[in-house]
A = this chain, B = another copy of it.
């Protein structure tokens, strides 16, 4: 066997082995009632705190390796755990026990004329594959959301977090040993190579769904290469449109919030579209307010004339997700133009209109193609917690299965249960 073939065989062994274990565990998990699942979450919460020193010690190895390899401080910060962050994770597990278990929920129940009794119920998906980047908190997050919904999970984290992830999963396993759920419910791939990830993309026999969490490139690769159904999360090129009739202070407040409250996240605003008539009166004030918050502006001609230090916008700017204190600024003449622009450049995530004109708002709501459309509110609200879901697996930008912030029900499928008394017609 060549070295490459040996490596491939070894990869397949770990992945397929663990996926098989997860699938077997999924069969048991589907039978577990809410009490057993909540008990397991409590045990994991306790075990995380009981073994916090061990986890922090292992996390320190990742931090050290990261710094040694020149990792940026912002990435180090995403990787780093401390007592406070661990306590938050432990606390989130307890909060999760308080949420309604979607599994078993009766979605529809009816009788057919021939006497068949039909019920549509929520059931677990089965085995969830999770591919994610540096943050080790996703390891706890994904595992606990899957357990709560009766799913087994195969985790493939980043190589930069391998010590942290391995430690956390060993802690989860020690908690599951004390529970009535199968220890095999949570599987972590030790192999963090690209080849191992690629093999996951094709594992349709064992994985029911693949969820990528991370940057645009990761998600793009998974969507392009996976034959396992994907729950696409992520990219957000979100717009705030300030209509002719927008209240000045409200418009500026919302624009500032949408751009600057947390620029690195997908629901932050990347382009502000301004109606020409509103711009005539208020554009300089908007520009000043943004620049006072150190926002770099790529503007069209009118924007450039209305303030200093504005970079001329290029075509590429309309499609750029800056994820920084930076945005594009463009004048528009009508809601028609807004709809056209957003549907061309947007990523179908979150879009806001600031307006006092009901017709404009209605047109925006109907014609803009996005998971969430806002009137007189910030795009920053697109989030499972802000929506009141109590948990979030991610924000779906696809149209099938789940769209927008995904709570626990997004991790379920359905099953028709049909009761008869001998019907053949």
Contact = CB atoms under 8 A, between A and B. Distances in A.
A1 to B, nearest CB: 27
Interface string A374-393: 11111011100011100000
B424 A257 contact: yes
A282 to B, nearest CB: 16
B126 A253 contact: no
Interface in A237-262: 247, 250, 253-254, 257-258, 261
B31 A373 contact: no
A27 interface: yes
Does more than half of chain A's interface fall in helix, strand or loop, or is it mixed?
mixed
Contact of A373 (B110, B339, B415): B415
B223 A227 contact: yes
Interface in A393-425: 398-401, 403-404, 413-425
Nearest to A425: B257
Interface string A211-255: 000000000000110010111000000000000000100100110
Contact of A419 (B231, B376, B382): B376
B112 A400 contact: no
Q: Copies of this chain, how many?
A: 2
A276 interface: no
B424 A208 contact: no
A388 B116 CA distance: 11
Nearest to A202: B224
B30 A367 contact: yes
A27 B375 contact: no
A371 interface: yes
B378 A415 contact: no
A229 B190 CA distance: 30
Contact of A422 (B116, B247, B369, B417): B247
Contact of A376 (B31, B414, B421): B421
Central interface residue in A254, A369, A386, A404, by most chain B CB within 10 Å: A369
